[in-house]
Amino acid sequence: ISRFAGEQRIFYTMYNTSMTASEISTNEYIRLQVLPRKAVKIMTFLSNRITSSEPATVKVSFLDEFSNRDISVSDKITFRNSENDIIGETYADSGFASHKININKSSIDSIHASTSSGFTAWTNICKVTTEIKPKIWWGDLHTHSIYSGHGRGYTEDLVSYAKQSSLLDFIA
C-alpha cells in the first residue's frame, strides 16, 4: 500500500490488518495497487484497416482472469500471417508488447501471435489495402478519475489501463 500525504510518499506493508476511516486524516489518500494474478490469456489487437505501404502495429497484453495485465511476464512473441509465415518477433516487457509488422499484399487477414510460454491468439480481422484511407481509432470518450469527484483511481492509472490493458488509442 502506498500512502500519500501531500508530496511526501510513505510506503508500508500491511499483513492481515486493516485501517479504519478514523486512522486516515481527511487530507490523505490511500492508494491500493491491484496486483494481478498469473496471466491466463493474451489479448491481441491490430488496426482493422491498414495499408501495404506502411507498417502496422500489433499490440499484445498478457491478462489474468479479471483482465488485469500481468506485469511479471517477459515472453518472446512470434507473429504469423494466415499462411503461417513468420512476419515478426518481439519480447513482451511488463506483460505488454507493441510491434510493427509489414503485410505486403492486399488482402483480408488476421495475425496469429504465439508466446514462448504457450499462449496463442489471433488478432481481429483487418483489411490490407494499397490506398490510404481514414483510420478508425478506438477509445473511450467519457472517463473519470479521483480528481473528478466521483471517479476511482488516479489519472496515470486510468491512462495505463486504457493503453496497456484495454489497448485503446485514446481516452477523454
Taken as a whole, the chain contains a residue count of 172
Instruction: Provide mean pLDDT across the span 19-32.
Output: 53
What's the Cα-to-Cα distance from 111 to each of 45, 51, 57, 99, 119, rounded to whole Å?
A: 9, 15, 11, 12, 14
CB 92 within 8 A of CB 79: no
d(CA 131, CA 58): 20
Question: Residue 154's closest CA among 67, 31, 68?
Answer: 31
Residue 125 neighbours by CB under 8 Å, 6+ apart: 48, 108, 109, 110
pLDDT for res 151: 76
Does residue 88 or residue 10 have the better pLDDT? 88
Distance, CA of 115 to CA of 78 (rounded, Å): 6
Helices of type H across the chain: 155-160
Q: Which three cell numbers stand for residue 161?
A: 489501463
Asked if pLDDT for residue 16 goes beyond 50, the answer is no
Summary mean pLDDT of the chain: 76
pLDDT of residue 78: 94
CB 130 within 8 A of CB 51: yes
- pLDDT of the residue at 35: 65
Q: What is the DSSP letter of 134?
A: P
Which range (46-50, 97-101, 158-162) has the least confidence? 46-50
Contact between 101 and 87 under an 8 Å Cβ cutoff? The reply is yes
Q: How confident is the model over 90-105, as a mean pLDDT?
A: 86
For 121, other C-beta atoms within 10 Å of its C-beta total 16
Nearest by Cα to 69 from 141, 167, 143: 167
